[in-house]
Amino acid sequence: MSGLAMPAVFAQGSTGNGVQKQNRQSKYSSAMMKEKILYDTDIGSDIDDSLCLAYLLNQKQCDLLGITTVTGEPVVRAMLASALLKAAGRDDIPIYPGVEKPLLTPQKQPEAHQSKYLPKYPHEEKFPEGEAIEFLRRTIRAHPNEITLLATGPFTNIALLFAVDPEIPSLLKKLVVMGGAFTYRYKGEPCLSEWNARCDPYATAMMYRAPVKEIVSVGLDVTSKVVLEKDEIIERFNAGILKTALDFSGILDNTRQEIVFHDPLAATVIFKKEICDFKRGNVEIEIGSSRLEGLTYWEADEKGKNEVAFNVNKDMFFDHFFSTIAGK
Amino acid sequence: MSGLAMPAVFAQGSTGNGVQKQNRQSKYSSAMMKEKILYDTDIGSDIDDSLCLAYLLNQKQCDLLGITTVTGEPVVRAMLASALLKAAGRDDIPIYPGVEKPLLTPQKQPEAHQSKYLPKYPHEEKFPEGEAIEFLRRTIRAHPNEITLLATGPFTNIALLFAVDPEIPSLLKKLVVMGGAFTYRYKGEPCLSEWNARCDPYATAMMYRAPVKEIVSVGLDVTSKVVLEKDEIIERFNAGILKTALDFSGILDNTRQEIVFHDPLAATVIFKKEICDFKRGNVEIEIGSSRLEGLTYWEADEKGKNEVAFNVNKDMFFDHFFSTIAGK
Amino acid sequence: MSGLAMPAVFAQGSTGNGVQKQNRQSKYSSAMMKEKILYDTDIGSDIDDSLCLAYLLNQKQCDLLGITTVTGEPVVRAMLASALLKAAGRDDIPIYPGVEKPLLTPQKQPEAHQSKYLPKYPHEEKFPEGEAIEFLRRTIRAHPNEITLLATGPFTNIALLFAVDPEIPSLLKKLVVMGGAFTYRYKGEPCLSEWNARCDPYATAMMYRAPVKEIVSVGLDVTSKVVLEKDEIIERFNAGILKTALDFSGILDNTRQEIVFHDPLAATVIFKKEICDFKRGNVEIEIGSSRLEGLTYWEADEKGKNEVAFNVNKDMFFDHFFSTIAGK
Amino acid sequence: MSGLAMPAVFAQGSTGNGVQKQNRQSKYSSAMMKEKILYDTDIGSDIDDSLCLAYLLNQKQCDLLGITTVTGEPVVRAMLASALLKAAGRDDIPIYPGVEKPLLTPQKQPEAHQSKYLPKYPHEEKFPEGEAIEFLRRTIRAHPNEITLLATGPFTNIALLFAVDPEIPSLLKKLVVMGGAFTYRYKGEPCLSEWNARCDPYATAMMYRAPVKEIVSVGLDVTSKVVLEKDEIIERFNAGILKTALDFSGILDNTRQEIVFHDPLAATVIFKKEICDFKRGNVEIEIGSSRLEGLTYWEADEKGKNEVAFNVNKDMFFDHFFSTIAGK
């Protein structure tokens, strides 16, 4: 870990929890040192959202203030998040189903396919209706400049949050997103636009234009480098919440042969930024071309508000991810 | 209605009306017969919003549940609404400043010019921040299928309201808007798009696509037919709230020579629909062309959810407007 | 006829042909006084192109240098033109089939429906292939600043002519087109774009941007005012070339009940401009909106190169048209 | 070949080649075996067009029927081509200045910078005006299915040629273009669109949509791999036409340090296709977005009419290029 690159609050590493055990007062001060996180997710489509949530729940530096879901069947997605929270013994964390449809374009992600696994796992069935944006808004206003908003699904909720109360962007500590394809590559092949951005291009444009102090983007070109094959997944997903995630993943019933850790990678850089190499600059979003809406334009600019990942230390990522999950 | 979830001001209902003071029973029954209205306005640019508010305050069938403002300087616009409410002795009605900027296009209406008249009139200075959409949302959820939402400014607040909580459109009784130019005419001249629609074309598109049971549109081609010249205005705006409106209007200092009753016309058809002739059909909004954005496409369709005004009985409108203001 | 408004060459009226009979020399000088016309037409769809050609053939001030056809089945359209020329004893006039498809948009006018009438009328079957643009180009270069180009179909040929040899626009005397809808009206109803412009919007844009000295546009809003009903048509189309045109028109077999004189109106203003009222200004063409491509933007500008018709003297038009046809 | 229809200069055919001088019979048979080439070029901007022309002049299998120029200052570009032809003793080859401006977008390449070298080299000053497209058209019609059209500048001439006479595409043997960026890379960096395609995106779209039997595209991603540095250029460009090209190149006055052999690569694959690896498929061009216009969409399709280069054998290219220039 590079002390130079990291804010003091992380640089102290894993000593925080030890302190918490001493007494309530110090526990309070240690809680102040945690990262307050709000997590907006399309959990229920690909498995990586579940792995991201598993990571956040096991990351001792993470104070997860709430979860919002987005895209098709947001209530089902909330149930899936609830199942994971219950499995982790953390159902104190509030979950709000968010917005189902993109602002103006056709729905690309209508269903939460992992719903088929729900009957096996206890979960909440009822959630507040239509209150996800207001929940995010109130929570951020209650903790000005302290909250990191992590978004790993299409950006409809985020765009609406920023539009509904235009002071919100500037009240965030930062916004971290899994999204974009800044070098136009996916696994070595040309890829002009990334799924989250393409699912709601107008929302993506609204999000990137908002006056957030810092937007950290981990795009498809980088996330696609952190992949595990089936055999290794079965070997390593052998306990606790990872067993549940493995069950959701489609690996065991052979509907998929590998897992790409898109969303977990975005989450880990909140806590260990050196996992990726970032460049500072500006990001804009294409909305004029119906074929390429959601394409991310990138230009380097030292004064830009965006930090975009251009490379990843794959070993460092997996070491950090699995050791965090293992509670080390 | 959940007392916990609702701000006190609207949990108490509106008590300002003389009839309501008699006793609880008659209050209940008379309130049931009134139209519950939420009014979203860009009051402060043109004078017609003030006249529309004056009308609503004097319309005995109107139960005005709250006011939200929209576009540039929304807090100044809230102050202007407050000044009128205080002048009318109705400052029990809640006012929420809404969203300042359009979703994705440049700001066309940055200032509320009538702010220069504020120093002469008592008004509130502080309003809830960033809560306009949530106020609308909760109020509509508290009165399902009972509320008519009247929107006479750019449709940014309305689009966000409908997007944030997608059940809201279907929980409205109806939506009435001043907007569009369905025959592409303004005072006999070609006019491809109308100001409110053009100021935020993406919001306008989102609004018209939402599953509202009924959208009543009174467009520029029709509203532009209800005009009064300076002399007649001075003669008829001779008492009460109209004197305040006259002061705001720019008529007395010769910055304008006539008033077009755009917004009041939209308000009157809520209570006396026969003032306009309507056709039923479908409305869509152009967003692909930068020159045409906000243009309203219209096609007749008996099963359409839109009622669009194509003509107005000018005398009936003015008779109704002035007799309502006069308390008759 | 207004001597003030008309160049001397027209103002001398119908004396030209009489002079031609005297001797070759004076014939030459009188030919100089005629208007040299190139006519680009989609003859074969609506009947008005045939009436326009009939007018040109009977207009003594017209020196028709050639005909080019445009849109679907251009060779069939050339045959139809040939049939009319032969019927008029004028098959010295060259005919070139032009371009079939629009530059970039789908074909809207694939067939020349009047082909069904061809078997009854003698006509040429073979025409030069792919040479229409080169014919126009060479003819215009051979008569710099003398030729009026009349275009009454989609503007594909014209756009290509102007692009292929960019000096051509400035070598024309003027361009006269039937096209556009400058007040967005057709027979009193809203009409945002006109057929010729919509059939090839990119070509229309290229045409209006070209540095022609003067473009005279007679749009749908005006042409649609010169209409004859079936009975009057049958009565007045009683001799010569009009009988052939009547046969082509669909009137006799009841497939149509009226004729709108779109294209003839554009032709007549070359010779008798006061038939329409014109305003000077600028014209631009929408190409960004897929729904409204081809829409004509108009703004008044004394220095503009466009003259756009905004009204028509209907009686003057029909008197001029029928008296010209009758050889008076 | 129709002597009447063809300008004398190409009715005479090309006689410059040594082999052709032996006798009529062998001339005929050898001419039959040569590739008939028409070359459309923006010579005068970058140096690679000159190298491409030098290659064609020295390629014994090439029967160069004519040259057309395109983009800003087409006459200056024709002079530059003339200077090279004269230097090579080949001024029998006809040169036609083509179209200066893109069809609908702003001019990106207004000047032929190499004009500063013209005073040193003898060249023609006068060329036919506005006849480039017609020259291409007649030449192709005179040799149906025999001509390879090589285009290494923006595609305005080609689009117009195909539009003006829609049979032309199917009368070509093939079309070979330097253009596009099919993997969205230039020297390893992201590159969404390539200069030739972007300079006239509408023309590029028209060209790729035309029914040519085979379009061979050598894009920026591949051409950018064939680069020589300054020292090697000075060493190898040491005789004959390459000395002239070196002078034009800007290498000697240090305005550039390397040459990328974009256009020569496209020319060499006509004669030695194995220099590049090709895939068969479909190409489409973006025109809807102002930022992305000219972007090349590529999809593999065994039945596609496009062959697109995806790799190059750099050594084979340079060996072939320099040995051809050396007359081996």
**Above pLDDT 70, what percent of chain A?**
90
Q: Rounded distance, CA C206 to CA C71, Å?
A: 17
Query: Neighbours of C (≥3 Cβ pairs closer than 8 A)?
Result: B, D
Q: Rounded distance, CA B206 to CA B156, Å?
A: 9
C177, C210 contact by CB (below 8 A)? no
Q: Given a cut of 80, is residue D253 above it in pLDDT? A: no
Residues 6 or more apart whose CB falls under 8 angstroms from that of A106 comprise none
Q: Rounded distance, CA D242 to CA D247, Å?
A: 8
Angle at D299 between CA D294 and CA D304, to 5 degrees: 100
Q: Determine, for residues A288 and D288 on separate chains, whether the beta-carbon distance falls below 8 Å.
A: yes
C5, C273 contact by CB (below 8 A)? yes
Reduced to 3 states (helix: H, G, I; strand: E, B; else coil), residue A230 is: helix
**pLDDT score, position A5:** 32
Q: Tell me the whole-structure pTM to 2 decimals.
A: 0.89
**pLDDT score, position B21:** 35
The residue type found at B104 is L
**pLDDT score, position B162:** 98
Task: Identify all chain B residues contacting C298, using CB atoms and an 8 Å cutoff.
Answer: 190
Reduced to 3 states (helix: H, G, I; strand: E, B; else coil), residue B324 is: helix
Q: Rounded distance, CA D162 to CA C104, Å?
A: 12
The pLDDT confidence band at residue A32, using thresholds 50, 70 and 90, is low
CA C112 vs CA A313, C41, C115: distances in Å: 67, 12, 6
* Tokens at D267, concatenated: 């020319």
Work out the minimum CA distance from A263 to partner chain B, whole angstroms: 24
Q: Rounded distance, CA B93 to CA B115, Å?
A: 20
Please count the other Cβ atoms lying within 10 Å of the Cβ belonging to residue B28. Answer: 11
What would the mean pLDDT of C126-155 be, rounded to a whole number? 97
**pLDDT score, position A26:** 42
Task: Identify all chain D residues contacting C172, using CB atoms and an 8 Å cutoff.
Answer: none
| A306 DSSP 8-state letter | E
Please count the other Cβ atoms lying within 10 Å of the Cβ belonging to residue D244. Answer: 20
Strand partners, C309: C278
C-alpha closest to that of A70 among A105, A41, A111? A41
Task: Identify all chain D residues contacting A289, using CB atoms and an 8 Å cutoff.
Answer: 286, 288-289, 292
The pLDDT confidence band at residue A136, using thresholds 50, 70 and 90, is very high
**pLDDT score, position C272:** 97
Out of A184, A192, A286, name the one closest to residue D291 (CB).
A286
First to last CA, chain A: 16
Q: Which residue numbers of D have CB closer than 8 Å to A's CBs?
A: 182-184, 190, 192, 286, 288-292, 295, 297-298
Out of A182, A183, A286, name the one closest to residue D292 (CB).
A286
Task: Identify all chain C residues contacting B288, using CB atoms and an 8 Å cutoff.
Answer: 288-291
What would the mean pLDDT of A189-214 be, rounded to a whole number? 96
Work out the minimum CA distance from A177 to partner chain B, whole angstroms: 20
What would the mean pLDDT of D154-173 be, rounded to a whole number? 98
**pLDDT score, position B32:** 53
Q: Rounded distance, CA D218 to CA D311, Å?
A: 9
Reduced to 3 states (helix: H, G, I; strand: E, B; else coil), residue A96 is: strand
What would the mean pLDDT of D9-36 be, rounded to a whole number? 46
Out of B190, B286, B292, name the one closest to residue C183 (CB).
B190
At A101-118, the pLDDT tens digits run 999 999 999 999 888 889
C-alpha closest to that of B158 among B178, B136, B126, B143? B136
First to last CA, chain D: 33
**pLDDT score, position C26:** 42
At A266-302, the pLDDT tens digits run 999 999 999 999 999 999 999 989 899 999 999 999 9
Q: Which has the minimum average pLDDT: A241-255, A257-271, B69-83, C55-69?
A: A241-255
Q: Which helix (H) or strand (E) holds B205?
A: helix B201-209
Angle at D131 between CA D128 and CA D134, to 5 degrees: 145
Reduced to 3 states (helix: H, G, I; strand: E, B; else coil), residue D228 is: strand
The pLDDT confidence band at residue A203, using thresholds 50, 70 and 90, is very high
Q: Rounded distance, CA C168 to CA D36, Å?
A: 31
Average pLDDT of every residue of chain A: 88
Residues of chain B falling short of pLDDT 70: 1-32
Q: Determine, for residues A288 and D286 on separate chains, whether the beta-carbon distance falls below 8 Å.
A: no
Q: Which helix (H) or strand (E) holds A198?
A: helix A195-199
Q: Rounded distance, CA A224 to CA C15, Å?
A: 84
Work out the minimum CA distance from A110 to partner chain B, whole angstroms: 15
What would the mean pLDDT of C56-83 be, rounded to a whole number? 97
Cα C103 from chain centre:
21
Q: In b/e form, how buried is each residue of A288-327, taking b as 16+ CB within 10 angstroms?
A: bbeebbbbbbbeeeeebbbbbbeebbeeebbebbeebbee
The residue type found at C326 is A
Q: Given a cut of 50, is residue C163 above it in pLDDT? A: yes
The pLDDT confidence band at residue A169, using thresholds 50, 70 and 90, is very high
The pLDDT confidence band at residue A256, using thresholds 50, 70 and 90, is confident
Residues 6 or more apart whose CB falls under 8 angstroms from that of A31 comprise A20, A63
Q: In b/e form, how buried is each residue of D87-109, taking b as 16+ CB within 10 angstroms?
A: bbebbebbbbbbbbbbbbbeeeb
Average pLDDT of every residue of chain D: 89
| ipTM of the shown complex | 0.88
CA B34 vs CA B137, B146, B172: distances in Å: 20, 10, 15
Q: Which has the minimum average pLDDT: A132-141, B71-80, C254-263, D119-128?
A: C254-263
Q: Rounded distance, CA B298 to CA B261, Å?
A: 23
First to last CA, chain B: 34
Q: Determine, for residues D168 and C130 on separate chains, whether the beta-carbon distance falls below 8 Å.
A: yes
Q: Determine, for residues C99 and D160 on separate chains, whether the beta-carbon distance falls below 8 Å.
A: no
Q: Which residue numbers of B have CB closer than 8 Å to A's CBs?
A: 99-101, 103-104, 129-131, 133-134, 137, 141, 156, 160, 163-168, 202, 205-206, 209, 287
Average pLDDT of every residue of chain C: 88
C94, C57 contact by CB (below 8 A)? no
Q: Determine, for residues B164 and A165 on separate chains, whether the beta-carbon distance falls below 8 Å.
A: no
Highest mean pLDDT among C44-58, C111-125, C266-280: C266-280
**pLDDT score, position C324:** 95
**pLDDT score, position C274:** 97
What is the Cβ-side half-sphere exposure of residue B93, based on CA atoms within 13 angstroms?
Answer: 29
Q: Rounded distance, CA C148 to CA C64, Å?
A: 10
Taking CA atoms, what residue in D is nearest to A183? Answer: D190
Out of A141, A165, A166, name the one closest to residue B101 (CB).
A166
3-state SS record for chain C = CCCCCCCHHHHCHHHHHHHHCCCHHHHHHHHHHCEEEEEEECCCCCCHHHHHHHHHHHCCCEEEEEEEECCCCHHHHHHHHHHHHHHCCCCCCCEEECCCCCCCCCCCCCCCHHHHHHHHCCCCCCCCCCCHHHHHHHHHHHCCCCEEEEECCCCHHHHHHHHHCCCHHHHCCEEEEECCCCCCEECCEECCCCHHHHHCHHHHHHHHHCCCCCEEEECHHHHCCCEEEHHHHHHHCCCHHHHHHHHHCCCCCCCCCEEECHHHHHHHHHHCHHHEEEEEEEEEECCCCCCCCCCEEEEECCCCCEEEEEEECHHHHHHHHHHHHCCC
